A and B are shown apart, each in its own frame.
Chain A
Amino acid sequence: MKKVIAMIKKIISLLCVVSIIVACSSSDDSNGGNTDNFDRTALLSNYADNIIVPALSDFQSKVSDLDVARANFINDINQSNLDLLSGAWLEAYRSWQYVAIYNIGIAETFTGNLNGFRVYFNVYPVSTSLIESAASGTDYDLNADAYFAAQGFPALDFLIHGIADSDTTPLDKFTTNVNFEGYVDYLTNVQSQINNRSTVILNNWQDTFRDEFVANTSSSATGAFSKIVNDYINYYERALRANKIGTPAGNFSAGQTFPDKVEAYYKNDVSKELALLGLDAVQKFFNGQSFDNSSTSVESLASYLDYLDSSQLKNDINAQFQVARQQIQSLNNSFSQQVIDDNTQMTQAYDALQAAVVLLKVDMASIFDVQIDFQDNDGD
């Protein structure tokens, strides 16, 4: 009995010491953020060097190819060159799915819009009336908020694959349409905007921001970790879950469906592929898998969860991503067609994605002690 008591006393003493440390230690606790000894530098440099910058470089190179295809097309306007332009557009659009998360560094300064720098690359549905009006001579400014919906990949999608008012083929815009010169100019201006902004972002990372990002190991809301986690969840919730699936499926419109609000509507048969790439980018980021798929075990959200004794949550998140992937894979290549044929399958895909929102935004964010800096306002 005495032995037991002695042992209990020992344990209690130990508890006291621990509790004093816990209770009295950190004064910066109230700022939020974990104050554990996890190697944030390793995590941030993995993200910067093996994932983000390689993805941005790839994107930059695909955008260059796209620009070449555009120049060739303008130089010799015919269907064959338009097809080549379409191919280059799709390549760049695929690559875009791997950079769309990263509204950080100079990209973050582009706009205060909740969708971040994505507004200059991928707002859809595209406003064809703005484009047609611009082609006909109305002044336009692609840097103005009103033109978010008339540029980037969705605008190119319309220019390459869509049919303008009173035309019969996509190519007519650039040949027989009375405003064909306006369309050619608009195509070039949209491309310039993509070129410029993607170059600025990549240069910023390569010149200064990579080091800034990796060095910013603070656990506060302005620390790189907190910011990238917020960007990540924001992308997942808005760009992937809501824009790619939820909006066309009527999840935000009392069930009214919108076959025309899918990504790449005018090309139409790639919305599933782009969504799957978006999900792939999300899951690879979570597990810290390098852009070129070479690295295996490096620090990531997943390994950080392991470190914080939350491997179960890590597994749940990966499992839920897998459920969502399977749901999406079962959909029609064209989400427009899927929404028309059987929208229930679309909402099932949405539900599978949504189930991971709770895991990421509530459970994971709370374990990391990361304050979510954006909020959905659906109350009344």
Chain B
Amino acid sequence: MNRIALSFLVLGALFTSCSSDDDNGSDGNQVQAPATFQFQRNGITTVDYNGQTTRIDMGEEFVTAIKDNSKTEAELDGMFTNTGNYFSTTVLNESTKNIRSKTAASSDYFSANTTVANAIKADFDSWIANQVTEVFPSWETTATAGNAGRLQENGGTYRYINSKGLEYNQAINKGLIGALMVDQILNNYLSTSVLDAGTNRADNDAEILAEGKNYTTMEHKWDEAFGYLYGTDDALAPMLNQDSFLNKYLSRVENDEDFAGIADAIYDAFKLGRAAIVAKNYTVRDQQAAIIREKISEIIGIRSVYYLQAGKLTLGTDNASAFHDLSEGFGFIYSLQFTRQPGTDEPYFTKTEIDAYIAELLEGNGFWDITSTTLDTMSDEIAARFNFTVAQAAPSN
């Protein structure tokens, strides 16, 4: 048997000795994990994700405006599509970016699925429209089963809900976390279909920079993924909870002791993967992408279960509070269809499964009719697809 082992050694040696210098892309290159997400070429940064920061900023103003009953549907639509100068700054108004075009728009999930992408965009459009036509006119009316209006939490806060108890602003805000951030990160910018598109790999190997830029296209794609999570945070020392989207909920999950460490795991994978691109080691790059896909998907799964369980705690005793939690849960569950199981082309839950959950949550009078049993069953089913339990995800008290 030793001689066989020896033969393998010889074989290995032959491979090594014959492989020429164009071998850069294969497994061999050592990748040093950098301390932070700082990358430079000739002393100048190669990291740029201003487009992502812009969209997060637009999202912030948009989800705030959605809760302002003085807004018209045209204004809200205008913020979703960046038309009509409804943002507070000229920087945003004059930007070529907008949120809607990147909603359900990843290469892997939607480039050959534009019919579904259109339907998802239409969901957001209808939530906006319904907020204006159903909820805004009932702003001062007390909501009842089957009638839109407001409900007051025991603590005093008013929640503005539709006839089924759903806060459209929560559906939109939490739904965007999946349809915009998660989908763009996991199914677009970290995908080989995007990272390796066209001549990206050959260009990165040869360090051919994007026209007029200090980065290779592949480097930039990776950074755009990074930007959808850290675009309003400190890239070198993330504080977390710096937006109302994915960055905030990474913070929430990190602060649950059952999941402490997830923030470092994600940040480490982002910086090691980026360093791997610089080192032209695409195996390490894709390993890090897989880690990010798993961990970010987990955030969505954990928060889905968290809010279903949170809603259960006050259901019937403080419905305003319960419906608020369930509305957040609704948005996170909607977002599950944009998650990505590492090593596959599939989300943790298909659109069909999510459509069924949404229908179940809104059946009859929606949250007014929902039972603890339904919430528990749904929680169990969601947790079962991930590496966490309902108890771990649920609120701790």
Contact = CB atoms under 8 A, between A and B. Distances in A.
Nearest to A249: B114
Contact of B51 (A13, A344, A350, A380): A380
Looking at chain A's contact residues, is the secondary structure mostly helix, strand, loop, or mixed? helix
Contact of A350 (B4, B14, B114, B194): B114
A144 interface: no
Contacts of B198: 372, 375
Interface in B87-122: 96-97, 100-101, 111-115, 118, 121
A354 B7 CA distance: 48
Contacts of A355: 112
A278 to B, nearest CB: 18
B221 interface: yes
A166 interface: no
Nearest to A320: B112
Contacts of B14: 16, 19-20, 23
Contact of B118 (A13, A23, A255): A255
Nearest to A8: B4
A5 B113 CA distance: 53
A344 B118 contact: yes
Contact of A354 (B1, B96, B112): B112
Contacts of A24: 18
A380 B22 contact: no
A8 B197 CA distance: 41
Contacts of A15: 11
Interface residues of B, number: 35
Contacts of A351: 112-115
Nearest to B193: A362
Nearest to A346: B115
A30 interface: yes
B42 interface: no
Contact of B114 (A23, A354, A362): A354
A251 B121 CA distance: 13
B6 to A, nearest CB: 10
Chain A: interface size category: 20 to 34
Given A5-B4, A255-B118, A375-B199, A357 B112 contact: yes
Nearest to A356: B112
Contacts of B3: 5, 9
Given A255-B121, A372-B198, A348 B7 contact: no
Q: Which of B1, B15, B97, B118 has the most CB of A within 10 A?
A: B118
A371 B19 CA distance: 22
A28 B209 CA distance: 24
A336 interface: no
B210 to A, nearest CB: 9
Contact of A19 (B11, B194, B199): B11
B8 interface: yes
Nearest to A251: B114
A358 interface: yes
Q: Which of B3, B111, B114, B194 has the most CB of A within 10 A?
A: B114
B81 interface: yes
Contact of A347 (B11, B111, B115, B202): B115
B224 interface: yes
A29 B81 CA distance: 47
B10 interface: yes
A42 B165 CA distance: 69
Contacts of A352: 112
B101 A347 contact: no
Interface in B206-249: 217, 220-221, 224
Contacts of A178: none
Nearest to B107: A378
A12 interface: yes
B224 A379 contact: yes
A20 B12 CA distance: 11
B10 A16 contact: yes
A97 B96 CA distance: 36
Contacts of B193: 358, 362
B118 A354 contact: no
Contacts of B217: 379
Contacts of B113: 351
Contacts of A30: 22
Interface in B145-182: none
Contacts of A344: 115, 118
B203 to A, nearest CB: 11
Given A15-B11, A255-B118, A375 B100 contact: no
Nearest to A1: B1
A255 B83 CA distance: 15
Given A23-B18, A255-B121, A375 B101 contact: no
A372 B193 CA distance: 13
Q: Which of B3, B7, B19, B100 has the most CB of A within 10 A?
A: B7
Contacts of B111: 354, 357-358
A23 B19 contact: yes
Given A348-B115, A379-B221, A23 B4 contact: no
Contacts of A357: 111-112
Contacts of A354: 111-112, 114
Contacts of A380: 51, 96-97, 224
A347 B4 contact: no
A86 B51 CA distance: 49
Contacts of B118: 255, 344, 347
A291 B158 CA distance: 71
6 contacts: A20-B18, A30-B22, A347-B115, A351-B114, A371-B199, A372-B199
Given A19-B18, A30-B22, A348-B115, 13 more contacts: A254-B81, A254-B100, A254-B101, A255-B118, A351-B112, A351-B114, A355-B112, A357-B111, A358-B193, A371-B199, A379-B217, A379-B221, A380-B51
Interface of B: 1, 3-4, 7-8, 10-11, 14-15, 18-19, 22, 51, 81, 96-97, 100-101, 111-115, 118, 121, 193-194, 197-199, 202, 217, 220-221, 224
Among all A-B residue pairs, the 7 with the closest Cβ atoms: A23-B18, A354-B112, A375-B198, A355-B112, A380-B51, A347-B115, A24-B18
